[in-house]
Amino acid sequence: MTLERRRATWAIYVWCRRTDELVDGPNASRIAPTALDRWEARLEDLFQGRPFDMMDAALADTVAKFPVDIQPFKDMIEGMRMDLTKSRYKNFDELYLYCYYVAGTVGLLSVPVMGIAPESQAPTESVYNAALALGIANQLTNILRDVGEE
């Protein structure tokens, strides 16, 4: 990857980690749903070119340079909201939706930055579908890995 793409990938990764830390980090027990509302408002500001801090500025730069859509970011925040209220899923459809929110979104955020090879014959939609499937598969693997300790 070019330096610009590596930096953009890092900026997305940092935002995702910071989002996850809101519900899984050391202060998670003190996080209220309103904190996620503030985080989402901050995301919207960032997309309007008004970053809050230097890490937000890195993502704002990414958003300016690559065709990254805000919806997967918002969807990830929705997954964090689910983490605050739900720990069990009654069927695979519910689990799949959770996996989409917290990990499938990462795949969708990565494609605009990583790009699609110019010589690729794959339709753009199939590339996004594959990235989505990879994110969901990674989350299902994480869940299976943690079954023993939880």
pLDDT digits (tens, 9 = 90+) for 44-79: 999 999 999 999 999 999 999 999 999 999 999 999
CATH number listed for the domain at residues 3-146 = 1.10.600.10
**What are the b/e assignments for 120-142, b being 16+ CB within 10 Å?**
eeeeeeebbeebbeebbebbeee
Q: Write the pLDDT tens digit of every residue in 74-89.
A: 999 999 998 888 878 8
**pLDDT (0 to 100) of residue 29:** 67
**pLDDT (0 to 100) of residue 143:** 87
| Alpha carbon 18 to its chain's center | 10
Domain ranges of the chain: 3-146
3-state secondary structure of 53: coil
Is the whole model's pTM more than 0.75, yes or no? yes
**pLDDT (0 to 100) of residue 28:** 67
| pLDDT over 70 at 149, yes or no | no
Query: In terms of Cα–Cα distance, which of 101, 66, 107, 65 is closest to 85?
Result: 101
